[in-house]
Amino acid sequence: MAKYGYDDTPFLPNTKWRVHDSNRPQPPVIWPGCFSTQEAPGEPPSDAIILFDGKDLSKWVSVKDGGPARWKVENGYMEVVPGTGDIRTIEEFGDCQLHIEWAAPAEVRGEGQGRGNSGVFLMGRYEIQVLDCYENPTYADGTTAAIYGQYPPLVNACRKPGEWQVYDIIWLAPRFDENGNLIRPAYVTVFHNGVVVHYHTPLFGPTTHRATLPYQPHPPVGPLRLQDHGDPVRYRNIWYRPLRGYDGEPEWRDWTPIVMAPRG
């Protein structure tokens, strides 16, 4: 027996590692962060890449013209300025754990799709709906946390208007071969306010309104896009963690070790 394992056990199927392999890399050590409250955002894990920390929009640009994002920033959140258009991150990424918090306007106006509407677009193409559906019915595949136009959430886990809500998303980007053929669809798992509402759900293609779109080959990374749908929806505490080394075929993770210093 080696110090931290064994070197005489069977190999795990289709891997280079033995059961309890003494040479298998240790997981990186991180600080896990802390949860948000209604009063204040939590702290991200120490290996998270921060996209919005409540201070400015230096990591975001306008989708319209690529210039500075023109949404409002105050009190630790950004707020949609209706008419200024969608914004997107400068940074592009693919497979990830994404955390994003949002709040629909406390003053209720409109109904259905006209109430607290925005959207979180993964890779700029695949929308998780943002909408105030607290006692506000609409079409099922357009309700809060829906994969827009494709799948309703398993449950409606909405908080009241004005309260902060949380999406935690596990995103696996689609894969295309060298000829542009789809070899694996995108998959998404979504937690809304801590409740699973999609579990490893395969997307039919990019999301859109009143139509279906087929997959078109695209790079393995893309920006995060937030939608200006005309309502002053707020966002805060946006970060992601890359799912490093995930190859998708078979569904197994071969993590690339990264040494992270603990903090806190």
Residue 189 sits in a domain whose CATH number is: 2.60.120.560
In a domain, 42, yes or no: no
Higher-confidence position of 252 and 67: 67
234 and 130 housed in the same domain: yes
77 and 122 housed in the same domain: yes
In a domain, 256, yes or no: no
pLDDT tens for each residue of 56-84:
999 999 999 999 999 999 999 999 999 99
| Integer Cα distance of 199 and 184 in angstroms | 16
176 and 80 housed in the same domain: yes
Rounded percentage of the chain residues whose pLDDT exceeds 70: 91
In which band, very low, low, confident or very high, does the pLDDT at 3 lie, cut at 50, 70 and 90?
confident
Higher-confidence position of 174 and 27: 174
- Compute the average pLDDT of residues 130-151: 98
N- to C-terminal Cα distance for the chain?
Answer: 36
DSSP letter string over the chain? -BTTBBSSSPBPTTSS-BTTBTTSPPPPP----B---SSS--B--TTPEEEE-SS--TTEEETTTSSB---EEETTEEE--TTS--EEEEEEE-SEEEEEEEE--SS----GGGSS-EEEEETTTEEEEE---TT----GGGSTT-BTTTB--SS--PPPTTS-EEEEEEEE--EE-TTS-EEE--EEEEEETTEEEEEEEEP-SS--SSS--------S-EEEEE---SS--EEEEEEEEE-TTB--SSS-B-PPP-------
114-128, 211-225, 243-257: segment of lowest average pLDDT: 243-257
54 and 140 housed in the same domain: yes
46-72: burial string, b at 16+ Cβ within 10 Å, e else: bbbeebbebeebebbbbbeeeeebbbe
Name residue 183's amino acid: I
25 and 63 housed in the same domain: no
Largest Cα–Cα distance in the chain?
68
pLDDT tens for each residue of 7-22:
999 999 989 999 999 9
119 and 20 housed in the same domain: no
In a domain, 38, yes or no: no
Q: How many domains does the chain have?
A: 2
Residue 49 sits at the vertex; the CA angle it makes with 160 and 47, to the nearest 5 degrees, is 105
56 and 161 housed in the same domain: yes
In a domain, 61, yes or no: yes
In a domain, 262, yes or no: no
128 and 211 housed in the same domain: yes
**Does position 130 have pLDDT exceeding 80, yes or no?**
yes
| Integer Cα distance of 139 and 127 in angstroms | 15
66 and 196 housed in the same domain: yes
pLDDT for the residue numbered 2: 66
Supply 226's token pair.
């937030």
164 and 222 housed in the same domain: yes
9 and 54 housed in the same domain: no
pTM over 0.85: yes
In which band, very low, low, confident or very high, does the pLDDT at 1 lie, cut at 50, 70 and 90?
low
In which band, very low, low, confident or very high, does the pLDDT at 249 lie, cut at 50, 70 and 90?
very low
164 and 195 housed in the same domain: yes
Domain that holds residue 3: 1-29
Spacing of C-alpha 177 from chain mean position: 24
In a domain, 40, yes or no: no
In a domain, 263, yes or no: no
pLDDT tens for each residue of 26-58:
889 999 999 999 999 999 999 999 999 999 999
In which band, very low, low, confident or very high, does the pLDDT at 260 lie, cut at 50, 70 and 90?
very low
pLDDT tens for each residue of 230-241:
999 999 999 999
In a domain, 259, yes or no: no
Residue 165 sits at the vertex; the CA angle it makes with 161 and 170, to the nearest 5 degrees, is 145
Query: What is the residue-averaged pLDDT of the chain?
Result: 92
